[in-house]
Amino acid sequence: MGPPVTRSQSTESRAVVALTPRPDSDWPASANLAGALADLNDRATVRGRDAKNLRYATVLAIGEVREEARAGATRLAQTINEGNSGLLSDLNNSFAAVGERIDSLPLVATVNPDGPLPRIVPFSGSGEDPLQFSLWLRRLEDIMRMRSTTWTSQQKAFFLTGFLDGLARGKAEELTDDEREEYSSVVAHLKKSFEGPQHRYMARQALSSCQQQTGESASTFANKLLLLVRAATYGQDPASQKDGVLEEFVARLRPDIRYYVKLDNPSTFEQAVAKAQMVEQLLAEATADRLIRPSLPTQAIEVKAAAPPQQSSRNYERRRSPFNRGQAHFSQQPRGRLPTRPVRAEATTNCFNCGGVGLFSRQCPSPRVTRRAPGKSSFRSLSNDGNFSRFSPRDGIPPSRYDRDRELSQARDQIRALSISLQENQSALERSDARVNALVKRKRS
């Protein structure tokens, strides 16, 4: 016999009935699932069939939720796309309207939209400014033509006045208000003020004292001279100005450069400047070469000129040795006009003219001293008389023939040394010319 029927069993049976899905019902799956879970008792026993039905209701509910989520996402994406399209269309319409509004605006003469202005030095009109007003005005008009807009006469006049300074600005203030607004009137007044005869005279004075300074490059000097010549010859034709620039440039170069430029005989100013630059570069290279390998022509001449007088001094000692025999007290006389002669064994050398130590008579800066006192007998008379023992330094050197021979020997030695020095200088000059010619050929090739 089975267990007795109780209340819990009836409740359990109702729960099983409630869990049974009703697919033909109009209610959604999530409503069926919610109703089944609400009616299920906590103490009811769940059977396998009830679990399957519950699982089936759960799957249906999840599928329903997924479909609803997918449909919602699709609707949201469509709404967003529609909003973006509308926003993009509105933005395009706004930009088009702004562009049409900008295009409809009138053109204004302004410089900023075309970019920054090139650097322009204000014109002051002072005497220290070498730039001519016409050259400065030409630069200013070139900048005006760089603008994309067409300028009126008033705008040009205002632009010109904005770059005037000092005395030139004061000259512009001398005009009336109507004249200051007229570009041609302002230009004519400034040309009359800063390109008159007095300014040409000042330019000629500056040109007369213009010379290329040491350390100034040929190109810098050429630019400075070109401005001065144009200011001094204002009003002449360009051909005359070019000839004048060429002549003034060649004549006012440094002497070491002018010689080579004249030797080339340039026909135009540009050729003269190019030649001067090339010679300047070659001289700089030669100077650097001399600094790296310096020559010593002076020392060589001194050595070669010092050797013969020593031999002459020895000959002199040998020739006057007969006079010194038996004269042991000769070097001890305190009142002699000539200093004591050193012996040949010593290394020092005395001058026969002034008595100085370390130089020869041919190198002595003092004037020649006549050694033989008046009234004294000559070398030949002394040698005939045999009065050698009475000869002393204060009596002077009597042999006049020996003096002539000694001077002749010294002159020959000087001529020989000068000949050697001349030959060395000629060879050095030939080497320098050969180096310069090689550099010139290399530059031309």
Cβ neighbours of residue 189 closer than 8 Å, sequence gap 6 or more: 171, 172, 174, 175, 179
- Half-sphere exposure for 178 (CA within 13 Å, toward CB): 0
Q: Which residues pair with 123 in a beta bridge?
A: 164
- Candidate from 20-24, 69-73, 226-230 with smallest mean pLDDT: 20-24
In the prediction, which pLDDT does 410 show?
Answer: 81
- On the question of pLDDT at 220 being above 50, the answer is yes
- On the question of pLDDT at 212 being above 50, the answer is yes
- Half-sphere exposure for 355 (CA within 13 Å, toward CB): 10
Instruction: Supply the DSSP symbol for 416.
Output: H
Distance CA 252, CA 274 (A): 15
Indicate the residue type of 321.
S
**Tokens encoding 430:** 């030939």
C-beta pairs of 339-342 under 8 Å, 24+ apart in sequence: 340/393
Distances (CA, A) of 326 to 46, 330, 403, 427: 167, 9, 24, 53
Distance CA 56, CA 59 (A): 5
- Candidate from 21-25, 140-144, 264-268, 272-276 with smallest mean pLDDT: 21-25
Instruction: Supply the DSSP symbol for 164.
Output: B
In the prediction, which pLDDT does 108 show?
Answer: 60
* Contact indicator for 261, 250 with CB cutoff of 8 Å: yes
Torsion of CA 320, 324, 330, 336, to 10 degrees: -30
Centre a 10 Å sphere on the Cβ of residue 116 and count the other Cβ atoms it contains. Answer: 7
Right CATH for 199-292 from 3.30.360.10, 1.20.1580.10, 2.160.20.10, 1.10.1200.30: 1.10.1200.30
Indicate the average pLDDT of the chain: 70
In the prediction, which pLDDT does 109 show?
Answer: 54
Distance CA 279, CA 276 (A): 5
Torsion of CA 356, 360, 361, 363, to 10 degrees: -100
- On the question of pLDDT at 429 being above 90, the answer is no
Phi and psi at residue 105, to the nearest 5°: -70, 150
3-state helix, strand, coil in the chain (%, to 5): 65, 0, 35
- On the question of pLDDT at 141 being above 90, the answer is no
- Candidate from 74-88, 336-350, 363-377 with smallest mean pLDDT: 336-350
In the prediction, which pLDDT does 327 show?
Answer: 42
Indicate the residue type of 191.
K
Distance CA 192, CA 229 (A): 19
Model confidence pLDDT, tens digit, residues 231-274: 777 767 777 777 788 888 888 888 888 888 888 788 888 888 88
Mean pLDDT of 335-347: 46
Instruction: Supply the DSSP symbol for 4.
Output: P
**Tokens encoding 326:** 């038996």
* Longest Cα separation, the chain: 198
More confident residue, 178 or 388: 178
Determine the Cα angle at 65 with ends 64 and 67, to 5°: 65
C-beta pairs of 222-226 under 8 Å, 24+ apart in sequence: 222/249, 222/269, 222/273, 222/276, 224/130, 225/249, 225/252, 226/269
Indicate the residue type of 439.
L
**Tokens encoding 330:** 């000769």
Instruction: Supply the DSSP symbol for 163.
Output: T
Of all residues in the chain, the percent with pLDDT exceeding 70 is 59
Residue appearing with tokens 């002159």: 411
Reduced to 3 states (helix: H, G, I; strand: E, B; else coil), residue 431 is: helix
Distance CA 249, CA 221 (A): 8
| Reported pTM | 0.34
Distance CA 436, CA 65 (A): 102
Nearest to 320 by CA among 396, 410, 413: 396
Model confidence pLDDT, tens digit, residues 151-209: 888 888 888 888 888 888 888 888 888 888 888 888 888 877 777 666 677 777 777 77
In the prediction, which pLDDT does 95 show?
Answer: 92
Model confidence pLDDT, tens digit, residues 287-315: 776 666 555 454 444 434 444 444 444 44
In the prediction, which pLDDT does 77 show?
Answer: 93
**Tokens encoding 362:** 């041919």
- On the question of pLDDT at 80 being above 90, the answer is yes
In the prediction, which pLDDT does 19 show?
Answer: 46
